[in-house]
């Protein structure tokens, strides 16, 4: 380009890429969730939970597919399918008449129940969800272990022990604060009672002192009156004695 020449317009391809990056949002893959593993006892039933997240609204064409791979096996077989609002259960396989649909697509739930468990049910179950147009994403797997009696897992025991210890500590703290609260409340009541008694004694002493203060002038007046009366009587007696001497 020659110096001073006007710059050329941006490439149409660059403009299209810029528009798509600013306006068009990229498609997000569907995400499926299951438990990592579940345990069941022979003859009992177990629920295989399956849920999903999708950037799209739940479609009328949503579908759930469950596949089963036996323990030690290489191939996975389809044992359950849900589409167009209808569940389709395997009619000839090992899970014949033992699968129950308990999911709800509106709640993004594709769970199933397997009844009458047997040792041969040990294996891996895969849940696959399609929610058109969101159909791209990874499946999720859950491993089933069937026992004669479901063992108590170490994590459950440890959690129960920790929960019991924490519960005991919380109970002790609650008792401590309750006792402390009752003691403080009792001390406050005693303090109020002592304060009331001291106020009563002070009021009584003030009242007695004021009463004595009122009685003192009266006593003085009575003493003065008795003294003046006594002086008058003595004067009168003396005058009578002098008058009698004069008559003689």
For position 190, what pLDDT does the model report? 86
For position 131, what pLDDT does the model report? 94
Output 47 or 154, whichever has higher pLDDT: 47
Rounded to an integer, the average pLDDT of 40-52 is 96
Q: Name residue, tokens 């159909």.
A: 135
Report how far residue 161's alpha carbon sits from residue 195's, in angstroms, rounded to the nearest whole number.
51
Report how far residue 95's alpha carbon sits from residue 117's, in angstroms, rounded to the nearest whole number.
9
Strand 140-147 with 37-41, pairing: parallel
Output 195 or 131, whichever has higher pLDDT: 131
pTM for the model: 0.54
| pLDDT exceeds 50 at position 17 | no
Report how far residue 186's alpha carbon sits from residue 188's, in angstroms, rounded to the nearest whole number.
5
Using pLDDT thresholds of 50, 70 and 90, give the confidence band for residue 48. very high
Rounded to an integer, the average pLDDT of 217-243 is 65
For position 24, what pLDDT does the model report? 37
Mean pLDDT computed over every residue of the chain: 80
Using pLDDT thresholds of 50, 70 and 90, give the confidence band for residue 26. very low
Using pLDDT thresholds of 50, 70 and 90, give the confidence band for residue 217. low
């Amino acid at each position: 380009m020659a110096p001073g020449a006007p710059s050329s317009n941006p490439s149409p391809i660059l403009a299209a890429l810029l528009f798509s990056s600013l306006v068009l949002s990229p498609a997000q893959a569907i995400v499926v969730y299951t438990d990592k593993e579940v345990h069941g006892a022979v003859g009992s039933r177990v629920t295989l939970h399956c849920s999903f997240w999708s950037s799209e609204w739940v479609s009328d064409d949503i579908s759930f597919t469950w596949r089963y791979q036996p323990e030690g096996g290489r191939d996975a077989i389809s044992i359950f399918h849900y589409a167009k609002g209808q569940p389709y259960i395997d009619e000839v396989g090992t899970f014949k008449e033992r699968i129950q649909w308990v999911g709800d697509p509106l709640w993004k739930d594709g769970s199933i129940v397997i009844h009458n468990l047997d040792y041969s049910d040990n294996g891996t179950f895969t849940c696959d969800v399609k929610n058109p147009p969101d159909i791209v994403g990874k499946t999720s797997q859950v491993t089933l272990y069937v026992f004669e009696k479901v063992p108590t897992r170490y994590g459950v025991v440890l959690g129960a022990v920790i929960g019991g210890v924490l519960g005991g500590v919380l109970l002790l703290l609650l008792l401590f604060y309750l006792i402390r609260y009752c003691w403080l409340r009792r001390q406050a009541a005693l303090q109020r009672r002592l304060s009331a008694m001291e106020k009563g004694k002070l009021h009584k002493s003030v009242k007695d002192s004021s009463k004595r203060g009122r009685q003192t002038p009266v006593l003085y007046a009575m003493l003065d009156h008795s003294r003046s009366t006594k002086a008058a009587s003595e004067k009168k007696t003396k005058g009578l004695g002098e008058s009698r001497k004069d008559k003689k």
